Amino acid sequence: MAEMASINPTVGAQYRWSALYAPKGFGSPAFWGLIQGWITVFGWMAVVASPAFLVGTLAQGLIVLNKEDYVPQNWHGTLLTWALLAIPAFCNIFARKVLSTIEIVGGITHTVFWIVWVVVLLTMARRSSLEYVFSETYSGLEFGGWSNQGVSWCVGLLTAAFPLSGMWTRSLFELSTFPLTRDSL
């Protein structure tokens, strides 16, 4: 991608690159750019829905752990996801005046609980030796059960990349609502 960016630096690069480097004889180059654009839009939708689904299924998991007679169904997690999505929808529609206060309280509690979490982990977690931390290497084949190291690496990458998706989506929203005029450039 870095080479394509240096050869053809443009805004909306993936769409233009898909059109520019599309194979000849397989439809219009604009068609490939359009397909790339729609794939990106569906990816954004999935990224935005993922945290709500994660929290909904985590809540379902807590119910399973704490209520012995509960029989989980697949649609329960989806229903919890929709219920969680209704909260910000309600706030955006009916509580616009207090939305900034809710965001400030959320930011403060997020920071406070992050500090509490780090302190608890530093004081109560088991310690490993330096030799174990810096000299032992394990592939996903031993612990993850994956038959391919590439698949194991990709699954492990999701854990590191997923928290960044919310920040990326927020910055995309802010950029999309920024008025672009000749004076602002």
Structural domain contains residue 103: no
Structural domain contains residue 54: yes
Structural domain contains residue 79: yes
CA 151 – CA 158 distance, rounded (Å):
11
Expressed as residue numbers, the domain containing 83 is 1-94
Whether the per-residue pLDDT at 185 is higher than 50: the answer is: no
- What does the buried/exposed string (b/e) look like for 88-106 if buried means 16 or more CB atoms within 10 Å of the residue's CB? eeeeeeeeeeeeeeeeeee
Cβ pair 99, 91 in contact under 8 A: yes
CA 160 – CA 128 distance, rounded (Å):
22
Which pLDDT does position 168 carry in this prediction?
53
The predicted-structure confidence for 128-159, as pLDDT tens digits, reads as follows 888 877 877 665 456 666 777 777 777 777 77
Which pLDDT does position 24 carry in this prediction?
75
Please give the model's pTM, rounded to 2 decimal places. 0.53
Structural domain contains residue 78: yes
Structural domain contains residue 177: no
Structural domain contains residue 116: no
Which pLDDT does position 158 carry in this prediction?
76
Find where tokens 């630096």 sit.
Answer: 9
The predicted-structure confidence for 50-97, as pLDDT tens digits, reads as follows 888 888 888 999 999 999 999 999 899 999 999 988 888 888 888 888
Query: How many structural domains compose the chain?
Result: 1
The predicted-structure confidence for 167-184, as pLDDT tens digits, reads as follows 555 555 555 554 555 554
Structural domain contains residue 168: no
